[in-house]
A = this chain, B = another copy of it.
């Protein structure tokens, strides 16, 4: 992981008057180093396996912070479970979710991005963020 990421993370903590703790850092590190989309339990389980103890309370508190400072992205599907993924160093992208296997595939389309900007602007708005998910099945 780039050193500058750790510095940014420490800066974010400072801005919020929060301390640099092992739990916060472990969650941060896990998300930055692992591509994928993880719910809170998965993250905790993974860290527990690495002998790092983190409680749900701390995990959720930290994840909120990471989202707030754009270190990661939160996505909620129809099942109501929040999933988090690294946002540093990754191009912006959206998601295709296979309804049969649950597999998540990323995609980007500058064309779509452009059109949606225009749509918002036409109605007098600017886009803060967007969610674009395609629920798909393999073509047989």
Contacts and interface: CB of A to CB of B under 8 A. Distances in A.
Interface of A: 74-80, 82, 96, 98-99, 105, 107, 109, 111-112, 115-116, 119-121, 123-139
Contacts of A82: 78, 80
Contacts of A74: 78
A137 to B, nearest CB: 6
Contact of A134 (B78, B105, B120): B120
Given A125-B139, A126-B136, 13 more contacts: A76-B80, A80-B80, A80-B82, A111-B111, A112-B112, A112-B116, A116-B132, A120-B136, A125-B136, A127-B136, A128-B136, A130-B132, A130-B134
